Structure 1
Amino acid sequence: MSFLPALPLLVLLAGAAEPAWQQVARDDGITVMARTPEGGSVSEVKATALVDAPPQDVWRVIRDYANYTKTMPYTEESRVLASEQEGKITVFYCLVNAPLVDKRDFIIRIRDESDWKDGKGFLKAAWTMTTDGAPAVREGVVRVKLNNGYWLLEPREEGKKTFVTYYLYTDPGGSLPKWIADKANKTSVPDVLRAVRKYATKK
Protein backbone atom coordinates (compact mmCIF):
# COMPACT_ATOMS: atom_id res chain seq x y z
CA MET A 1 0.00 0.00 0.00
CA SER A 2 1.50 3.33 -1.06
CA PHE A 3 1.01 6.69 0.68
CA LEU A 4 2.76 8.72 -2.05
CA PRO A 5 -0.44 10.10 -3.67
CA ALA A 6 -1.37 11.73 -0.35
CA LEU A 7 1.85 13.74 -0.10
CA PRO A 8 0.84 16.59 -2.45
CA LEU A 9 -2.40 17.00 -0.47
CA LEU A 10 -0.43 17.21 2.79
CA VAL A 11 1.82 19.85 1.29
CA LEU A 12 -1.19 21.86 0.14
CA LEU A 13 -2.83 21.62 3.56
CA ALA A 14 0.37 22.77 5.28
CA GLY A 15 0.58 25.79 3.00
CA ALA A 16 -3.09 26.63 3.49
CA ALA A 17 -2.67 26.86 7.27
CA GLU A 18 -0.91 30.23 6.96
CA PRO A 19 -3.37 33.14 6.58
CA ALA A 20 -3.20 35.09 3.35
CA TRP A 21 -2.20 38.75 3.24
CA GLN A 22 -5.07 41.14 2.58
CA GLN A 23 -4.70 44.67 1.21
CA VAL A 24 -6.14 47.13 3.74
CA ALA A 25 -5.00 50.43 2.24
CA ARG A 26 -3.29 52.03 -0.72
CA ASP A 27 -2.43 55.70 -0.62
CA ASP A 28 0.43 58.03 -1.54
CA GLY A 29 2.21 55.24 -3.40
CA ILE A 30 2.19 52.97 -0.34
CA THR A 31 0.36 49.63 -0.23
CA VAL A 32 -0.54 48.26 3.20
CA MET A 33 -1.21 44.56 3.75
CA ALA A 34 -2.32 42.80 6.93
CA ARG A 35 -3.07 39.35 8.26
CA THR A 36 -3.71 37.87 11.71
CA PRO A 37 -1.49 34.86 12.49
CA GLU A 38 -3.01 31.66 13.87
CA GLY A 39 -3.77 32.25 17.53
CA GLY A 40 -2.81 35.93 17.33
CA SER A 41 -4.87 38.84 18.65
CA VAL A 42 -3.27 41.59 16.57
CA SER A 43 -2.35 41.69 12.89
CA GLU A 44 0.96 41.47 11.17
CA VAL A 45 1.28 44.55 8.97
CA LYS A 46 3.39 45.01 5.86
CA ALA A 47 3.80 48.18 3.78
CA THR A 48 5.53 48.44 0.41
CA ALA A 49 6.53 51.35 -1.81
CA LEU A 50 8.86 52.26 -4.63
CA VAL A 51 11.19 54.97 -3.34
CA ASP A 52 12.93 57.38 -5.69
CA ALA A 53 16.36 56.88 -4.11
CA PRO A 54 19.13 54.24 -4.28
CA PRO A 55 19.04 51.44 -1.65
CA GLN A 56 22.14 52.86 0.06
CA ASP A 57 20.34 56.16 0.73
CA VAL A 58 17.30 54.41 2.20
CA TRP A 59 19.61 52.16 4.25
CA ARG A 60 21.40 55.18 5.68
CA VAL A 61 18.13 56.57 7.06
CA ILE A 62 17.01 53.23 8.50
CA ARG A 63 20.37 52.61 10.21
CA ASP A 64 20.70 56.10 11.68
CA TYR A 65 19.16 54.96 14.98
CA ALA A 66 20.56 57.78 17.09
CA ASN A 67 18.61 60.31 14.98
CA TYR A 68 15.23 58.56 15.04
CA THR A 69 13.96 61.42 17.23
CA LYS A 70 14.40 63.65 14.16
CA THR A 71 13.28 61.26 11.43
CA MET A 72 10.73 58.80 12.84
CA PRO A 73 7.14 59.71 13.81
CA TYR A 74 6.37 59.98 17.55
CA THR A 75 9.90 58.99 18.63
CA GLU A 76 10.80 60.84 21.82
CA GLU A 77 14.01 58.98 22.68
CA SER A 78 16.30 56.65 20.73
CA ARG A 79 19.54 55.09 21.93
CA VAL A 80 21.94 52.43 20.71
CA LEU A 81 22.66 50.28 23.78
CA ALA A 82 25.20 47.98 22.14
CA SER A 83 26.83 47.18 18.82
CA GLU A 84 28.26 43.73 18.15
CA GLN A 85 29.96 41.80 15.34
CA GLU A 86 31.29 44.96 13.68
CA GLY A 87 27.84 46.52 13.49
CA LYS A 88 26.00 43.42 12.28
CA ILE A 89 24.07 43.32 15.56
CA THR A 90 22.57 46.42 17.19
CA VAL A 91 20.70 46.59 20.49
CA PHE A 92 18.37 49.57 20.35
CA TYR A 93 16.12 51.35 22.85
CA CYS A 94 13.21 53.53 21.75
CA LEU A 95 10.59 55.58 23.59
CA VAL A 96 7.47 56.44 21.58
CA ASN A 97 4.99 59.17 22.47
CA ALA A 98 1.94 58.67 20.26
CA PRO A 99 -1.29 60.67 20.57
CA LEU A 100 -4.12 59.60 22.92
CA VAL A 101 -2.25 56.72 24.62
CA ASP A 102 0.41 56.29 27.28
CA LYS A 103 4.02 56.39 26.19
CA ARG A 104 5.54 53.08 25.07
CA ASP A 105 9.13 51.90 25.06
CA PHE A 106 10.89 48.81 23.73
CA ILE A 107 14.31 47.22 23.33
CA ILE A 108 15.04 45.30 20.14
CA ARG A 109 17.97 43.31 18.79
CA ILE A 110 18.52 44.24 15.14
CA ARG A 111 20.40 41.92 12.78
CA ASP A 112 21.91 42.98 9.47
CA GLU A 113 20.82 40.12 7.16
CA SER A 114 21.85 41.81 3.92
CA ASP A 115 23.15 39.99 0.88
CA TRP A 116 24.62 42.96 -0.97
CA LYS A 117 27.57 43.28 -3.32
CA ASP A 118 28.37 45.80 -6.04
CA GLY A 119 24.87 47.26 -5.97
CA LYS A 120 23.13 43.92 -6.36
CA GLY A 121 21.17 41.68 -4.00
CA PHE A 122 19.24 43.17 -1.09
CA LEU A 123 19.69 45.09 2.15
CA LYS A 124 17.78 43.80 5.16
CA ALA A 125 17.55 44.71 8.85
CA ALA A 126 15.44 42.33 10.97
CA TRP A 127 14.66 42.59 14.67
CA THR A 128 13.18 40.79 17.65
CA MET A 129 12.50 41.82 21.23
CA THR A 130 15.29 41.54 23.78
CA THR A 131 15.98 42.39 27.41
CA ASP A 132 19.72 42.95 26.89
CA GLY A 133 20.73 46.13 28.69
CA ALA A 134 17.10 47.09 29.23
CA PRO A 135 16.65 50.20 31.39
CA ALA A 136 14.17 50.09 34.25
CA VAL A 137 10.54 50.57 33.32
CA ARG A 138 9.54 54.20 33.90
CA GLU A 139 6.40 55.40 35.59
CA GLY A 140 3.73 56.22 33.03
CA VAL A 141 5.50 54.24 30.30
CA VAL A 142 4.26 50.85 29.03
CA ARG A 143 7.02 48.37 28.12
CA VAL A 144 6.17 46.67 24.82
CA LYS A 145 6.70 42.90 25.00
CA LEU A 146 6.10 41.97 21.35
CA ASN A 147 7.93 43.76 18.55
CA ASN A 148 9.27 41.80 15.59
CA GLY A 149 9.88 43.13 12.12
CA TYR A 150 12.20 43.92 9.24
CA TRP A 151 13.15 46.38 6.52
CA LEU A 152 13.88 44.86 3.10
CA LEU A 153 15.39 47.03 0.36
CA GLU A 154 15.63 45.79 -3.23
CA PRO A 155 17.12 47.80 -6.11
CA ARG A 156 14.99 48.81 -9.06
CA GLU A 157 15.75 50.64 -12.33
CA GLU A 158 19.47 49.82 -12.26
CA GLY A 159 19.79 50.81 -8.61
CA LYS A 160 18.36 54.30 -9.02
CA LYS A 161 15.23 53.40 -7.06
CA THR A 162 14.38 51.06 -4.20
CA PHE A 163 11.46 48.73 -3.61
CA VAL A 164 10.96 48.96 0.15
CA THR A 165 9.14 46.46 2.33
CA TYR A 166 8.48 47.31 5.99
CA TYR A 167 7.04 44.48 8.10
CA LEU A 168 5.91 44.80 11.72
CA TYR A 169 4.29 42.46 14.21
CA THR A 170 3.78 44.21 17.52
CA ASP A 171 1.36 44.46 20.40
CA PRO A 172 1.48 47.85 22.17
CA GLY A 173 0.31 46.17 25.38
CA GLY A 174 -1.14 47.98 28.37
CA SER A 175 -4.91 48.48 28.62
CA LEU A 176 -5.28 49.43 24.96
CA PRO A 177 -8.11 47.38 23.36
CA LYS A 178 -6.80 44.99 20.72
CA TRP A 179 -8.91 46.49 17.94
CA ILE A 180 -7.48 49.94 18.65
CA ALA A 181 -3.94 48.52 18.76
CA ASP A 182 -4.62 46.81 15.44
CA LYS A 183 -5.86 50.04 13.86
CA ALA A 184 -2.91 51.99 15.27
CA ASN A 185 -0.42 49.52 13.77
CA LYS A 186 -2.06 49.74 10.34
CA THR A 187 -1.72 53.53 10.50
CA SER A 188 1.78 53.80 11.97
CA VAL A 189 3.47 51.37 9.56
CA PRO A 190 2.81 53.48 6.42
CA ASP A 191 3.62 56.63 8.42
CA VAL A 192 7.07 55.27 9.25
CA LEU A 193 7.69 54.19 5.65
CA ARG A 194 6.58 57.63 4.49
CA ALA A 195 9.11 59.25 6.86
CA VAL A 196 11.94 57.04 5.61
CA ARG A 197 11.04 57.90 2.01
CA LYS A 198 11.07 61.60 2.87
CA TYR A 199 14.57 61.59 4.36
CA ALA A 200 16.03 59.16 1.83
CA THR A 201 15.00 61.45 -1.05
CA LYS A 202 15.92 64.67 0.72
CA LYS A 203 18.66 66.55 -1.11
Structure 2
Amino acid sequence: MRGVLRMTLLATAVMGFAGAALAEDWKLEKEDDGVKVFLSPVAGSKYKAYRGVVDIKADVAKINALQEDVAGSCKWIHACAEMRLLKTEGDNSWTYSKIDMPWPVTGRDVVIHVTTEKTADGGLIRHLKAEPTYIPEEKGEIRVPKLIGEWKLVPKGAGVTEVTYQVQTEPGGSIPSWLANSFVVDAPMNTLKGLRSAAEK
Protein backbone atom coordinates (compact mmCIF):
# COMPACT_ATOMS: atom_id res chain seq x y z
CA MET A 1 0.00 0.00 0.00
CA ARG A 2 3.04 2.23 0.38
CA GLY A 3 3.54 4.86 -2.14
CA VAL A 4 0.21 4.84 -3.56
CA LEU A 5 -1.16 8.24 -3.58
CA ARG A 6 -4.05 6.93 -4.15
CA MET A 7 -4.22 10.19 -4.46
CA THR A 8 -4.27 9.04 -7.52
CA LEU A 9 -5.75 11.82 -6.81
CA LEU A 10 -6.71 12.79 -8.96
CA ALA A 11 -5.79 11.57 -10.54
CA THR A 12 -8.85 12.99 -9.99
CA ALA A 13 -7.41 15.44 -11.66
CA VAL A 14 -8.90 15.33 -14.89
CA MET A 15 -7.62 18.37 -16.39
CA GLY A 16 -4.20 19.54 -16.92
CA PHE A 17 -0.98 17.74 -18.20
CA ALA A 18 0.18 15.97 -21.28
CA GLY A 19 3.81 16.35 -20.53
CA ALA A 20 4.58 17.72 -17.13
CA ALA A 21 7.91 19.01 -18.27
CA LEU A 22 6.14 21.26 -20.77
CA ALA A 23 4.31 23.25 -18.12
CA GLU A 24 6.68 25.92 -16.86
CA ASP A 25 4.96 29.27 -17.35
CA TRP A 26 3.17 29.26 -13.99
CA LYS A 27 0.90 32.16 -13.06
CA LEU A 28 -1.05 32.58 -9.84
CA GLU A 29 -4.73 32.05 -10.65
CA LYS A 30 -6.33 32.00 -7.23
CA GLU A 31 -5.42 32.24 -3.55
CA ASP A 32 -7.89 31.35 -0.83
CA ASP A 33 -7.54 30.37 2.81
CA GLY A 34 -3.83 29.71 2.51
CA VAL A 35 -4.02 27.66 -0.68
CA LYS A 36 -2.42 29.00 -3.85
CA VAL A 37 -3.33 27.68 -7.29
CA PHE A 38 -1.10 28.30 -10.30
CA LEU A 39 -1.91 27.51 -13.94
CA SER A 40 0.34 27.02 -16.94
CA PRO A 41 -0.45 26.60 -20.64
CA VAL A 42 0.73 23.33 -22.19
CA ALA A 43 2.10 23.20 -25.72
CA GLY A 44 -0.18 21.20 -27.98
CA SER A 45 -3.01 20.96 -25.45
CA LYS A 46 -6.15 23.00 -24.89
CA TYR A 47 -6.06 22.12 -21.20
CA LYS A 48 -3.92 23.97 -18.70
CA ALA A 49 -1.71 22.32 -16.12
CA TYR A 50 -2.35 23.18 -12.49
CA ARG A 51 -0.25 23.40 -9.37
CA GLY A 52 -1.59 23.86 -5.85
CA VAL A 53 0.55 24.72 -2.82
CA VAL A 54 -0.36 24.84 0.88
CA ASP A 55 1.32 24.61 4.29
CA ILE A 56 -0.24 21.96 6.53
CA LYS A 57 0.24 21.79 10.29
CA ALA A 58 1.10 18.10 10.32
CA ASP A 59 4.26 16.10 9.78
CA VAL A 60 5.11 14.17 6.62
CA ALA A 61 4.29 10.83 8.26
CA LYS A 62 0.70 11.84 9.03
CA ILE A 63 0.06 13.23 5.56
CA ASN A 64 1.65 10.14 4.04
CA ALA A 65 -0.69 7.92 6.07
CA LEU A 66 -3.70 9.81 4.75
CA GLN A 67 -2.49 9.37 1.19
CA GLU A 68 -1.89 5.68 1.79
CA ASP A 69 -5.52 5.20 2.80
CA VAL A 70 -6.93 4.61 -0.65
CA ALA A 71 -10.63 4.46 0.14
CA GLY A 72 -10.39 7.19 2.77
CA SER A 73 -8.57 9.62 0.51
CA CYS A 74 -11.52 9.70 -1.86
CA LYS A 75 -13.36 11.72 0.80
CA TRP A 76 -11.04 14.70 0.41
CA ILE A 77 -10.07 14.44 -3.26
CA HIS A 78 -12.06 16.78 -5.50
CA ALA A 79 -14.68 15.05 -7.66
CA CYS A 80 -13.63 11.60 -6.49
CA ALA A 81 -16.48 9.10 -6.89
CA GLU A 82 -14.50 5.93 -6.25
CA MET A 83 -10.90 4.96 -5.62
CA ARG A 84 -9.21 1.64 -5.07
CA LEU A 85 -5.78 0.08 -5.01
CA LEU A 86 -5.05 -2.32 -7.86
CA LYS A 87 -1.51 -3.43 -7.08
CA THR A 88 1.58 -2.59 -5.04
CA GLU A 89 5.18 -3.56 -5.73
CA GLY A 90 7.68 -1.91 -3.40
CA ASP A 91 7.55 1.83 -4.06
CA ASN A 92 5.27 1.39 -7.07
CA SER A 93 1.50 1.31 -6.87
CA TRP A 94 -1.38 1.29 -9.32
CA THR A 95 -4.71 2.86 -8.43
CA TYR A 96 -8.08 3.16 -10.11
CA SER A 97 -10.31 6.20 -9.71
CA LYS A 98 -13.68 7.33 -11.01
CA ILE A 99 -14.20 11.06 -11.44
CA ASP A 100 -17.59 12.71 -11.09
CA MET A 101 -18.65 15.00 -13.92
CA PRO A 102 -21.73 17.24 -13.95
CA TRP A 103 -24.59 16.17 -16.20
CA PRO A 104 -24.59 15.76 -19.14
CA VAL A 105 -20.81 15.24 -19.27
CA THR A 106 -19.75 11.57 -19.18
CA GLY A 107 -17.78 10.53 -16.10
CA ARG A 108 -14.09 9.75 -16.37
CA ASP A 109 -11.98 7.01 -14.89
CA VAL A 110 -8.22 6.76 -14.66
CA VAL A 111 -5.55 4.23 -13.79
CA ILE A 112 -2.50 5.85 -12.21
CA HIS A 113 0.96 4.39 -11.77
CA VAL A 114 2.39 5.99 -8.63
CA THR A 115 6.11 5.90 -7.90
CA THR A 116 7.16 7.11 -4.46
CA GLU A 117 10.60 8.37 -3.54
CA LYS A 118 11.96 9.62 -0.25
CA THR A 119 13.99 12.82 -0.27
CA ALA A 120 17.09 13.66 1.73
CA ASP A 121 15.23 16.25 3.79
CA GLY A 122 12.74 13.68 5.10
CA GLY A 123 10.07 14.50 2.56
CA LEU A 124 8.34 12.51 -0.18
CA ILE A 125 7.68 12.87 -3.87
CA ARG A 126 5.00 10.81 -5.56
CA HIS A 127 5.19 10.70 -9.34
CA LEU A 128 1.89 10.12 -11.12
CA LYS A 129 1.43 8.76 -14.63
CA ALA A 130 -1.69 7.41 -16.30
CA GLU A 131 -1.59 3.87 -17.67
CA PRO A 132 -4.92 3.70 -19.53
CA THR A 133 -4.53 0.12 -20.76
CA TYR A 134 -3.55 -1.38 -17.38
CA ILE A 135 -7.08 -2.75 -16.93
CA PRO A 136 -9.99 -3.03 -19.39
CA GLU A 137 -12.17 0.04 -19.83
CA GLU A 138 -15.44 0.12 -17.91
CA LYS A 139 -18.80 0.68 -19.56
CA GLY A 140 -20.23 4.15 -19.05
CA GLU A 141 -16.87 5.79 -18.34
CA ILE A 142 -14.34 7.57 -20.53
CA ARG A 143 -10.79 6.47 -19.72
CA VAL A 144 -8.33 9.32 -19.19
CA PRO A 145 -5.62 8.73 -21.83
CA LYS A 146 -2.87 10.98 -20.45
CA LEU A 147 -1.99 12.28 -17.02
CA ILE A 148 1.32 13.30 -15.52
CA GLY A 149 1.80 14.86 -12.14
CA GLU A 150 3.31 14.71 -8.72
CA TRP A 151 2.75 15.21 -5.03
CA LYS A 152 5.62 16.77 -3.12
CA LEU A 153 5.78 16.80 0.69
CA VAL A 154 8.50 19.04 2.10
CA PRO A 155 9.04 19.27 5.89
CA LYS A 156 9.29 22.90 6.98
CA GLY A 157 10.01 22.31 10.68
CA ALA A 158 7.83 22.77 13.77
CA GLY A 159 5.42 20.10 12.55
CA VAL A 160 4.61 21.91 9.30
CA THR A 161 4.73 20.36 5.82
CA GLU A 162 4.58 22.20 2.53
CA VAL A 163 2.42 20.20 0.12
CA THR A 164 2.50 20.74 -3.64
CA TYR A 165 0.04 19.01 -5.93
CA GLN A 166 0.68 19.34 -9.67
CA VAL A 167 -1.16 17.72 -12.57
CA GLN A 168 -1.35 17.94 -16.34
CA THR A 169 -3.83 15.79 -18.22
CA GLU A 170 -5.77 15.08 -21.35
CA PRO A 171 -9.23 14.01 -20.12
CA GLY A 172 -10.37 12.33 -23.32
CA GLY A 173 -13.66 12.93 -25.07
CA SER A 174 -15.29 16.34 -25.09
CA ILE A 175 -15.20 18.69 -22.09
CA PRO A 176 -17.08 22.03 -22.13
CA SER A 177 -14.71 24.98 -21.77
CA TRP A 178 -16.51 26.23 -18.64
CA LEU A 179 -15.94 22.89 -16.92
CA ALA A 180 -12.32 22.64 -18.00
CA ASN A 181 -11.62 26.16 -16.77
CA SER A 182 -13.24 25.57 -13.40
CA PHE A 183 -11.78 22.09 -12.85
CA VAL A 184 -8.16 23.17 -13.11
CA VAL A 185 -8.77 25.60 -10.24
CA ASP A 186 -11.25 23.61 -8.14
CA ALA A 187 -9.31 20.32 -8.24
CA PRO A 188 -6.12 21.56 -6.52
CA MET A 189 -7.94 24.08 -4.32
CA ASN A 190 -10.54 21.69 -2.92
CA THR A 191 -8.20 18.70 -2.74
CA LEU A 192 -5.57 20.57 -0.73
CA LYS A 193 -8.18 22.10 1.57
CA GLY A 194 -9.63 18.63 2.15
CA LEU A 195 -6.23 17.09 2.82
CA ARG A 196 -5.34 19.89 5.24
CA SER A 197 -8.60 19.50 7.12
CA ALA A 198 -8.04 15.75 7.50
CA ALA A 199 -4.39 16.14 8.51
CA GLU A 200 -4.95 18.89 11.06
CA LYS A 201 -7.72 17.10 12.97
What's 2:28 paired with? 23
What's 2:142 paired with? 142
Q: How far did residue 96 of structure 1 move?
A: 1.5
Give 5+ residue unaligned stretches, structure 1.
1-16
Equivalent runs, 1:74-93 vs 2, <5 Å: 74-84=79-89, 86=90, 88-93=91-96
Q: Distance in 1 between matches of 2:52 and 2:172?
A: 22
Task: Decide whether the 8 Å contact of 1:81 with 1:133 is kept in 2.
Answer: no
Query: Does structure 1 residue 189 correspond to structure 2 residue 188?
Result: yes
Q: Distance in 2 between matches of 1:132 and 1:102?
A: 19
SS of equivalent to 1:170: strand
Greater Cα offset, 185-194 or 25-34: 185-194
Paired AA for residue 112 in structure 2: I
What's 2:54 paired with? 49
Paired AA for residue 51 in structure 1: I
Q: How far did residue 18 of structure 1 move?
A: 6.8
What's 1:173 paired with? 172
Structure 2 CA distance for partners of 1:18 and 1:42, relative to 1, 3 Å: closer
Task: Decide whether the 8 Å contact of 1:104 with 1:142 is kept in 2.
Answer: yes
What's 2:162 paired with? 163
What's 1:12 paired with? none
Task: Decide whether the 8 Å contact of 2:41 with 2:49 is kept in 1.
Answer: yes
Between the two proteins, the alignment pairs up a number of residues equal to: 179
Paired AA for residue 63 in structure 1: E
The percent of aligned pairs where both chains have the same amino acid is 26
Q: Distance in 1 between matches of 2:23 and 2:136?
A: 36
The structure 1 residue matched to 2:68, chosen from 63, 66, 69, is 63
Q: How far did residue 179 of structure 1 move?
A: 5.4
Task: Decide whether the 8 Å contact of 2:96 with 2:109 is kept in 1.
Answer: yes
Task: Decide whether the 8 Å contact of 1:19 with 1:38 is kept in 2.
Answer: no
Rg (Cα) greater in structure: 1
The structure 1 residue matched to 2:118, chosen from 106, 114, 118, is 114
Higher RCO, 1 vs 2 (CA within 8 Å, ≥6 residues apart): 2
The structure 1 residue matched to 2:97, chosen from 84, 94, 98, is 94
Q: Distance in 1 between matches of 2:119 and 2:101?
A: 34
Task: Decide whether the 8 Å contact of 1:42 with 1:178 is kept in 2.
Answer: no
Q: How far did residue 171 of structure 1 move?
A: 2.6
What's 2:127 paired with? 126
Task: Decide whether the 8 Å contact of 1:171 with 1:181 is kept in 2.
Answer: no
Q: Distance in 1 between matches of 2:148 and 2:165?
A: 11
